[in-house]
Chains A and B, each alone.
Chain A
Amino acid sequence: MASVEIMNAVKAYGDQQVLHSINIHVEDGEFVVLVGPSGCGKSTLLRMIAGLEDITDGEILIDGKVVNTKHPKDRDIAMVFQSYALYPHMTVEENMAFSLKMQKRDKEEQKQKVAESARILDLTKLLDRYPRQLSGGQRQRVAMGRAIVRDPKVFLFDEPLSNLDAKLRVQMRTEIRSLHQKLKTTVVYVTHDQVEAMTMADKIVVMHDGYIEQIGSPLNLYDQPANLFVAGFMGSPSMNLIKGRMDRSDPHQFVTQNGKVIRLPCPVDIDPGRELVIGIRPEHFEVSDEGTEFEVEVIEPTGSEIQVILNLGGEKATAAFRDRLPLEPGDKVRLGMSENGLHFFDSQSGNRLSPDLYMKEVSPEH
């Protein structure tokens, strides 16, 4: 077990800089998920921690020691690859024992350690098989088995579930979580799937184009996205983001680019000259006579809820309701929102505006 410290880490391929001064602190035993769209540099960062990729600038510390120039095998980490990277001409047992064999541990110890890991991951019956004789889920499990055999200080996962079907993915998510609770080893886990990040992480690092957008707990990111990127990326269906500005005469009214008015649940004190983006999560809409009138375009029932695609003067929005509302395409519906479901972002910088800057006392005449 160990902490991982990434300090001002930079990665460049030639002139092209793909990671810009990354700072992340991973506590001992923490499960940290790096999430971001494909190409944002997650794998590169993970490979830098593993030692498979040079660190152009900055430092990476594992267990308090700088590892920049250490060989991967001396970093005491284990990695699970997206392709699983199982050695194709070795049996499951040989795959799992490979690192021990390289360390020249004695045969008895190898057998015993492999057997124990196999038991934890329910692989005992598969030990004599070759990778190509396994299903995707079993391969995934063997890749994890190979990692835990070594009892490393840190586990690194690079999109380990993205080659599995949806059902197995959900199941393995839980399994990896419970394995982490059992072993309590520090984990750095890379995924492009924000649901995976939300459900698995103690702490999420949202990355975009080689920069960190925000670091925080899953709920923290969900409730207080620091900027437009995080707001749009975390959550499914994603947050509605509508451009406009505050009305000059009425602090309860937000005017969209198309001149439509959205009725706010509370007065908001932001300079009407400032270009804004208002953010509302689909589930924070509620039917209310006081609300704004939207036109229903499409209805998508998921079973547990219904998702409604709305139109407001050409601006699209999504709402999700637990109740099975009797709505039809073409209907008009008045929707309001709760006060704490409201987010404001500066349109220029994309940054979140903190509520204590714009909320003011509800005036008594209202």
Chain B
Amino acid sequence: MVENLLTEKLTATDPMLPGLFRIHRILKESYDTFTVELVSLEGYQTFPFEAGQFNMLYVYGVGEIPVSISGDPLHPETLVHTTRVVGTVTRAMRELKIGDVIGVRGPFGSAWPVQAAKGNDLVFVAGGIGLAPLRPALYQILAQRDRYGKIVLLYGCRSPEDILFRKELEKWRARFDLEIYVTVDYANTRWHGNVGVVTKLIPKAPFDPLNTIAMVCGPEVMMRFTAIELQKRGVNPDNIYISMERNMKCAVGFCGHCQFGPTFICKNGPVYPYSQMQNWLAMWEI
């Protein structure tokens, strides 16, 4: 009960006010990507969230950015984020050490359709850092594996050095109830896995297109072409979900910074059925 009150407070108070979190653990995922585990400094024992949601992370004195939660929704004791270094804030975040404090606002946004997908085959298609926002859905679904049909994860990366969550992928690959296919764009001859773009894995992936929910996360071009391939296989665009990224400021629907066509991604997204987005995605200058 106390726990609930404490967790509710974080979002019920001013949503523009960051809560203080201490870095408890840092994991290097690749040369440019790292995971931080955070614990609250304000007495929150847990940080409940839904798979697909994001937080605004504030590096003091540098800036604030949206980052999806990459941890396990069933273990909300620690808040987990996986970040790829691309610019000012992410670079500053990488310099932080265990014990340093960052500001957190959230969780914000819509979630992957984990409950609605029950009874269906599931196809996860991830590109690069896009595996991080999908990981919470995978945790949740694997925890109730018998409620779903076939589960397939198709993961594309630039090179073998860019593959994230390697240990976890190996562990999952050892299961008999989950199929994982990894592909890279560039490799040398030491790589014995697949070479080619992730969309090329779709035609032969083992799922029933008529009873499949697809969850796709990666850069926009990758998601667009993935959705096209999924539709070629017969997956209904209403059953394809994508996670949209746009620059954000307020994250609560005030500023309009994240507007995309008729929708505010921070409030109505980031997870959308592809059918809602497909016409806008093809449009220039949006």
To the question of whether A and B form a pair in one complex, the answer is no
**Chain B residues with a Cβ under 8 A of chain A:** none
